[in-house]
Every structure is written in C-alpha cells, then in structure tokens.
Amino acid sequence: MKFPTLHLVLSIIAICLIHVAQAQGNSQTVRGTVIDDDTRIPLIGATVIILGSDPLKGSTTDPDGRFVITDVPTGRVDLQVRMLGYEPQLLANNLITSAKESVLEIRMMESVTELGEFEVKAPERKGEVMNDMALVSARRISVEETSRIAGGINDPARMVSAFPGVAGDPAGDNTIVVRGNSPKGVLWRLEGVEIPNPNHFADDGATGGPINVLNSDMIDDSEFYTGAFGAEYGNVYSAVFDMKLRHGNDREREYTLKAGVLGTDLTAEGPIPGLEGGSYLANYRYSSLALLDQAGIVDFQGVPKYTDAAFNIKLPMRGAGTFSVFGVGGKSNIQQEDKGYTGDTLFSNSDFGSRMGVVGLTHTRTIGANSFLYTAVSMSGNGSSTDYYEAASPGESPVELWHQDDLAKWTLRATSTLNTRINANHKLRSGLIISSERFRMNSASRDRDTELMETTLDQSGNAATFQAYTSWKWRWNEQWTMTNGVHILYYGLNDAVSVEPRVALRYQVAPGRAFTFGAGLHSKTEALMTYMAQDVDAQGNVFQPNRDLGLTRAAHAVLGFEQFLTEDIQLKAEAFYQYLYDQPVENDPNSAFNLSNMTGWFTTKPLVNAGVGYNTGVELGVERFFTRGYHFLVTGSVSSARYKALNGTWYDSRFNLGTIANVLAGKEWELDSSEGKDRTLMVGFRYSMQGGQYSTPIDLDASLDAGYEKEGSPAWSDKGEAIHKLDLVVSYRLGRVKASHEFKIDVQNVMNAQTAVYHYFDPRTETIQDIPQLALLPVLQYTLRF
C-alpha cells in the first residue's frame, strides 16, 4: 500500500523540477505598524526596509506608527527595522504571496545602551518568543513554519513534537509528552486566557485529540514553553501553548478556501466600514468525510463528523484603546458498530460526541507614557457524552447499556495585566486571573462481575479559582538579564493554596552565545471529575473519596546554552531537573497507582498527595533557520522519569520514554515563471524516533478466568518498543495576480511502520492484542487564496 503513494509523490517532484529557474512575476504590498513593546505606543519615524532589494525598497512610519511598502516581489524577504533609541529588529523569511497583503505588527524594545551604531540581531530567526519575561525553555511557533514541517498537517500541537524533549502520540492524536510529564499537565491559552482542550473527539480531562479546533488560517505566531515558566503562567506543570489569533486585513477583503481530507473550510477577512483600523476575520470548517457520507459517496461505519468556527473582530477606539471580540468553537461526533472481524455479527455499538467553545472580549489601553493595561473576559464551555452498548450474546438484539456519561462545564474568566516600564533597565508586570466554573457531570458503567450499572459521577455545582502574579525584569546591561517573580494559586473547591517563586537569568557572553538558567515552583489542579468521583462504602453510603485532594506540584530547574555556529545555524542545549511532589497516588500501602500515569478521564480509587518523583534529562538541538531556500532541524533528548507511591517502591513513569530524536529538513524551489505567474515547489521530510511507553503487564490467565482484562505484576515493568516514523510533505504553489493556488500532500508514516504502541486483552480471541502506531496516512489539501 505504501509504494503507489510514494511513487506518486516522487513523480510530482520530478515533473516540477524540470522547470526550475529563478524568475518571478508578481508583487505585493507589505505594510503594518511599529509599536513600543512595553507601552504599545506607536513609534513615529521608524525605518523599515527590504534587505537585498535593488533598488532599495523601504518606508518610514507615520504618526500612527504605520508603514507601507508597495511593489514587493513575491517570495521570501527579510525586513530590517530601526529606530533611534531602540534595539534594531530583523524579521527574516517573510513569505510574500500574490493573493494576500503581508500585514505585520512589529514590537521594538528600548535599548539599554547609549545611542550609537548597533549590530542588528535577528530574534525571528532564532525562534525567540515575544514575551521578554521568558528566558528559558521557550520557543515561538510560526504558522508558516507549521505549514512546511512534514507530519505537522498545519497543527501546532503536532509541529512541537519535533522540539527537543517533546514526543507525540504514535497512535495518531496530537497529545504531547513533555520532559516525561503526563499530557494532563499541559495548559492551553488563547488571547491571554486559559481555554478548554481545543481538539475534536477529546475525552474530558485530556489535553489532546485527533484534530485541532483552532484553524491554522486563524492563528498568529504563538509561543510554546516546556519548563521553568514565567510568573504569569499558573495552573500548569508540564507545558504551555500560548496561542494568539491574528487580525484580519483592515484595508482589503481577502478570502481563503481549503478542501482536503481533514475538512473543507472558508476564511474571510476585511475592513469594518467607517472604523479606521478595524477589521474582521472569520472561518468555518466542516468534515470532508461527513460531506461525502451525506452525498452517499462513502458508506462505512464510524464516519467522523465534526465542524468548527472562529472569529476575531478588531475595534480600535481612539482615546479608549483597542477592543477585540473573539470566539472559537467546535463540535464532533462519531457512531460506530463493532461487527467483529467477519463484519456480520454485532458485538457492540457506541455514540461519542464532544464539544468546546469560547467567546471573549479583550481591551488594550496605554496608560501614560510608560504603561499599558491588557484586560480579557471570556466565557467557555466544554463537554462530552458517550453511550456504549454491548450485545447480551454475540449477534443478539436488543443490546444492553454498558456505559453512559454526560459531562458539561461552563467557565467565566477575567484577567487583567498591567505592564510598566520604569526605564530601559527595569520593567514590571503584574496581573490577576479569576475563574468561576459551573459543572454538571454524570457517568455510570456496568460492573462486569455483578453486571449491575454503577454510578461513578452524579454531581453539579461550582468552583472558583483565583490567581495573582507579579514579575520584575532587570536588564543590568547588554550581557546580563534577570527576571523574577511570584505566582499565587487558590482553588476554592478544596481551599488549596500554592505560593510559587520563579527566577530566570540570561548571560550573553558574546554575540550569538549565551547561557541561561531558570527555576521555580509550579502546581496544577486535577480535572473536576477526579474531585467529584463517587463510590459506595460497605454500608451502601455514597461518598466522594477525592473531594479534598490537593494540588499536584513540581519544582523545575533548567540550565541552557545557545551558540550560533554560523549566521543561520544555531546550537541549543538544555539540562533539566524536575522534582515532583504531592503527586496523587492511591491511598493503599500495597498499590503502585499514580494518577499522573493517566492521560485523561478519572478514577474512583481513593487518592492522597503523598507520591514523589523526578524527571531529569538533557536536550540538544541544531537548527538551520529557513534561508536561501532550505532549512533543517536535528534534535535529541535523553531523559529519565520515575516516581514512588505509598508502597515505597520506585517505578518507571508511564511516560519515561528515554530517548527522543528528530531529523527534519525542507527545500523550496522557485520554478520557471511567466508573466503574472509564480511557481514554487516545496519538499520536506521528517524522521522521528521515540522510546516506547511503560505499562503494567497483562495477566492472561487471570483475564481468561475473569473474562476481561486483569493487570499482572510487577507494575510498570514492560517497556514498549521504540517507535520509528518517516513523514513526507510536498506542496506546489502557483501565484497569479490577486490569487494563489496551493496543492499539498502531507504523508504520515510513509513506510507504514506498525510498531505496537498499546496492548489490551481481547475476550473474543482470548489473546492479548496490539494497538499499532498510526498507519500510512496521505493528507491531501487544495488551497485557493484570493
């Protein structure tokens, strides 16, 4: 099955390469706004030029900080930005297409040195984050970068699995394991506020899923953090996705139509009439397979149906700051029938659905000459439902209900952040985050011994969370930078409190060489289901064993080194140690159960915050940033993740993957171009390897006697096989005047490797079966921009 797909891809490449040349035929406008990073005040008189243009193309910002550069040849360009008294900026590798204007917001930082000539630095090319309070374990994610990484399929969560110390789910979800931590510890933020898991078909309590609700056409450059987080990030111990929505074009109407395996969607953007600088951006997507199913073109059980939408409306008000109204939402459902290997005997059927959504209002306002206030209010909701039936005997009807759940949560959040620049050397940032949750949770399952339905969730109510933080940045000089602060978390459901100091240092030894250090305390609440889970005691009384469970906590320390080997190649290394404490383990001196070995859902086992553990390792990455038509990234990490439960025995964590490695590269060719047409071919690959997860062996004899899966011993002693995967991406872009077409194929697991990822007991065959890694999957997509 793999060879026809691979031959098709190679044939496309061979045909396109016949026409390789260097000509270009179209041009576009590059414009935007230059602002002060600390105050959000527009900067007047900043110069913006296109490097390498002949004759030189450039512009100077007007009193509103705006600039316009017309007739910029399509392709990739570098922009240099200079302003007296500010650190120069180089925005590298901007992709200019004929169909859409390039609209930029450029933030400049006041220089700590005396006025004079400076060497231009290139934060964009280094993948540095815009958040200048983050000095360690931080990486920017550009949308353009995500689109050209093999296996990324335009999903930032899949793209970050190429970073050091980060591993994806080989079975197909975009769930990530970061430095040996459970995926449950990941925090998703959008526009500065925490949001529910933004993935379709997501189990409650999980942080990943098969398909991201956030459409790539809506997302701006975002940020990803893997440890020793800054003071503004709370309720997290594993990793942070800090996502931003882009603003629509405020002068021209533009549209994007996509059709492919993962969905068919339309994006529209443009100016708001009568409001200078105002814009709208909206997107709607529907499952392509669902469309084909409704048309009768495909006919098989288990068609995944999903839809999502998003919008972002920018409303600048002179004298009153800038408001934005945004929203993201998605709904998914799948109905399946299990008819066994022959397809003619009904064993079970299921109906699973999930949903999430968030709407919000943000406001940014300058206060005086040295401060700005950012405020956001949001309302979010998420939930899932499952109905699972089994035949009383194979092929018999009616079927019997074996599991049913209905989970729903609504959260009102408000956050406000004050950013103040005391002078070029000192900066303060402080904020408050208040959340109020309402929930309704019901779940019941049939006990396989008694064959009676047992209720494990039947609760409704509310819970509140309060967070406050403050941080201080001190730039001693051009070499030394320090940030420190404190984050406070209070959880009203069980009155849990955490006071978390944070500190980070950066020592710039020389241009292109730096040492970094970060440390801090972190904590996180568990999923509401864990606290609300119920059981029945020997007297028949219903109780909640984990209502008073506390916060899960960790202490992080990171030491890093950065070195530019050449102008375009950077080496980056980090060593980390995470001490895990107050881990939720079963309140049984003979048990090895640790809640952190789960990726979602909940347990009715009685838990206590008495477990400890550690994650430690070394990460290394060598990256060539996209210049002169190609890029590459080589990453590797070696780590250990272990924990100790109440029985006093040390175990390998489920997510103790050991070794993770990635090699990826991409090349772009500008092909033969005629008048009014640009042709570009891009080819990329990614080879990844990660160690297998640990699991507890299945006791086959006990499972045969019971008729369902029973665990054996010793706990967490089986190490899974290493997972190897090769991905390939090919795209062909054709640009015309005011329109562009792109044909793209992203083939996951080109060699169709089928290494076992998980194991389970199958009572029908009375054997232990494997769940292999995701099979070869070609994801085709056509994009029209106009």
DSSP state letters, 685-715: EEEEEEPPPEEPPB-HHHHHHHTS--B-SST
- Mean pLDDT for the stretch of residues 522-551: 95
Higher per-residue confidence, 148 vs 502: 502
Q: What does the block give as tokens for 460?
A: 């409704």
Going by C-alpha positions, the residue among 467, 468, 478, 538 that lies closest to residue 507 is: 478
Which pLDDT tens digit goes with each residue over 591-636?
Answer: 999 999 999 899 999 999 999 999 999 999 999 999 889 999 999 9
* Cα distance between residue 707 and residue 765, in whole Å: 11
DSSP state letters, 87-129: --EEEEEEEE-SSS-EEEEEEE-B-SSPSS------HHHHT--
- Does the CA dihedral 111-112-114-120 come out positive or negative? negative
Q: How many CA atoms lie within 13 A of 127 on its CB side?
A: 29
Q: What does the block give as tokens for 570?
A: 């950077």
Higher per-residue confidence, 444 vs 627: 444
Which band of pLDDT confidence, cut at 50, 70 and 90, is reported for residue 12?
A: very low
pLDDT of 33 > 80? The answer is: yes
Which band of pLDDT confidence, cut at 50, 70 and 90, is reported for residue 464?
A: very high
Instruction: Read off the amino acid at residue 223.
Output: E
State the pLDDT at residue 416.
Answer: 98
- Mean pLDDT for the stretch of residues 73-102: 89
* Cα distance between residue 747 and residue 732, in whole Å: 15
Long-range pairs, 287-292, Cβ under 8 A, ≥24: 287/263, 288/259, 288/260, 288/261, 288/262, 288/263, 288/264, 289/261, 291/264
Q: Give the lowest-confidence range in 407-411, 675-679, 707-711, 735-739.
A: 675-679
pLDDT of 118 > 90? The answer is: no
* Cα distance between residue 247 and residue 281, in whole Å: 6
Average pLDDT, the chain: 90
* Cα distance between residue 84 and residue 61, in whole Å: 13
Going by C-alpha positions, the residue among 370, 374, 319, 472 that lies closest to residue 41 is: 370
Higher per-residue confidence, 644 vs 152: 644
Which band of pLDDT confidence, cut at 50, 70 and 90, is reported for residue 301?
A: low
Distances (CA, A) of 666 to 146, 260, 630, 685: 12, 22, 6, 7
- Mean pLDDT for the stretch of residues 708-726: 95
Which pLDDT tens digit goes with each residue over 472-509?
Answer: 999 999 899 999 999 999 999 999 999 999 999 999 99
Task: Report the greatest alpha carbon distance in the chain.
Answer: 87
Residues with Cβ within 8 Å of residue 286, at least 6 apart in sequence: 263, 264, 265, 306, 307
The helices-and-strands tally (H runs, E runs) of the chain is: 7, 45
pLDDT of 127 > 80? The answer is: no
State the pLDDT at residue 674.
Answer: 66
Which band of pLDDT confidence, cut at 50, 70 and 90, is reported for residue 331?
A: very high
Which band of pLDDT confidence, cut at 50, 70 and 90, is reported for residue 336?
A: confident
- Mean pLDDT for the stretch of residues 541-570: 96
State the pLDDT at residue 396.
Answer: 66
| Residues present in the chain in total | 786
* Cα distance between residue 595 and residue 605, in whole Å: 10
- 3-state DSSP call for residue 140? strand
State the pLDDT at residue 431.
Answer: 98
Q: What does the block give as tokens for 622?
A: 């060598």
Q: What does the block give as tokens for 227?
A: 């440890």
Which pLDDT tens digit goes with each residue over 656-671?
Answer: 999 999 999 999 998 8
State the pLDDT at residue 302.
Answer: 72
- Mean pLDDT for the stretch of residues 305-320: 94
Which pLDDT tens digit goes with each residue over 252-300?
Answer: 999 999 999 889 999 999 999 999 999 999 999 999 887 777 776 666 6
Q: Give the lowest-confidence range in 177-191, 332-346, 365-379.
A: 332-346
Residue whose structure tokens are 């078909």: 201
Which band of pLDDT confidence, cut at 50, 70 and 90, is reported for residue 99?
A: confident
Contact 646, 587 (CB under 8 A): yes
Q: What does the block give as tokens for 299?
A: 């006919």
Which band of pLDDT confidence, cut at 50, 70 and 90, is reported for residue 397?
A: low
- Does the CA dihedral 179-180-182-183 come out positive or negative? positive
State the pLDDT at residue 206.
Answer: 85
DSSP state letters, 534-562: -EE-TTS-EE-TTTT---EEEEEEEEEEE
pLDDT of 533 > 60? The answer is: yes
State the pLDDT at residue 21.
Answer: 36
Which pLDDT tens digit goes with each residue over 624-640?
Answer: 999 889 999 999 999 99
State the pLDDT at residue 348.
Answer: 85
